[in-house]
Amino acid sequence: MKALILDDELYCTEAIALMIAKYCQPPMETITFTDSHEALAYLQTTAVDILFLDIEMPSMSGFEFLQKLQHFKGSVIFTTAYDHYALKAIKADAVDYLLKPIDKSELLQAIDKAMRLKQAPEPDVIREMIQLIDRQITQKDRKVAIPAFDGTYILDIHDIIRCESDGSYSFIHLTGAKPMMVSKNLRELETLLSSPVFFRVHKSHLINLNHIRFISRQDGGDVQMSDGSSVPVSRNTKQEFFQRIKA
């Protein structure tokens, strides 16, 4: 068996290759790429059994990569930090969909599923994938990978009190820790923290609804958070905000 791993983050490709080398039986040969175009050129002349494919990459997305990769006969396993691509992954005929940080047991299960694909009836494969996605999304509600200047932080989603915009950067305010500055704007964090508990009350503020301690209706309205901060609620979001609170 041979696998190609494509991810624009070098440490992600190395982590998957290391787990495969250490735990996969029988042994599997791996080759890694961080450049989509180089990986595409390689696959046009060389066959692999499994393609581990990141989704959000700078030059082209994982889905765009598959569109350019014609007549690929191997199995595709998506690897991503985002759970909202799950249904699109199913439509792309992916064998599996792994959320970062990738769990060793889930990786081995995905490889086993790829190896069994030719023998397994297609509806069974799809059903297994949907069940796994449901389980991973539940896990995603607890953990989130946040890229920062010095690496990637794995945060418990319930520890995030609020996120505050600072131009193209943002501050993440956590329980029991100093604010963390990350190289993501607020819109990117809003997408990354795609959970019902988060709501953007203002163009500069994204809050965890579970950390609200008091809602003021005076002076335009603001909310008091569990860290003692006061966050304004914009006029444009006020109606939807109160509907969410009532829900």
Average pLDDT of the segment spanning 153-177? 90
Rg of the Cα atoms in the chain: 21
Cβ atoms of residues 234 and 202 within 8 Å: yes
Residues 39 and 33: their CA atoms lie apart, in Å, by: 6
**Tell me, what's the pLDDT at 126?**
47
Average pLDDT of the segment spanning 93-99? 81
| Nearest of 146, 143, 183 to residue 166 by alpha carbon | 183
Measured at the alpha carbon of residue 48, what is the angle toward residues 44 and 52, in degrees to the nearest 5? Answer: 100
Concatenate the DSSP letters of all residues of 125-193 into one string: HHHHHHHHHHHHHHHHTTEEEEEETTEEEEEEGGGEEEEEEETTEEEEEETTS--EEES--HHHHHHHT
pLDDT above 50 for 140 = no
Specify the domain boundaries for CATH 2.40.50.1020 within the chain. Answer: 155-246
| Nearest of 216, 244, 210, 247 to residue 230 by alpha carbon | 216
CATH 3.40.1160.10 is held by the domain 2-140: no
Q: Which two tokens stand for residue 66?
A: 């598959």
Architecture label for domain 155-246 = Beta Barrel (2.40)
Ranked by mean pLDDT, the top range of 127-136, 143-152, 226-235, 236-245 is 226-235
Average pLDDT of the segment spanning 61-80? 87
- Per-residue pLDDT of 209-220, as tens digits, reads 889 999 887 766
User: Confidence class of residue 139 from pLDDT cuts 50, 70 and 90?
Assistant: very low
Cβ atoms of residues 61 and 45 within 8 Å: no
Specify the domain boundaries for CATH 3.40.50.2300 within the chain. Answer: 2-140
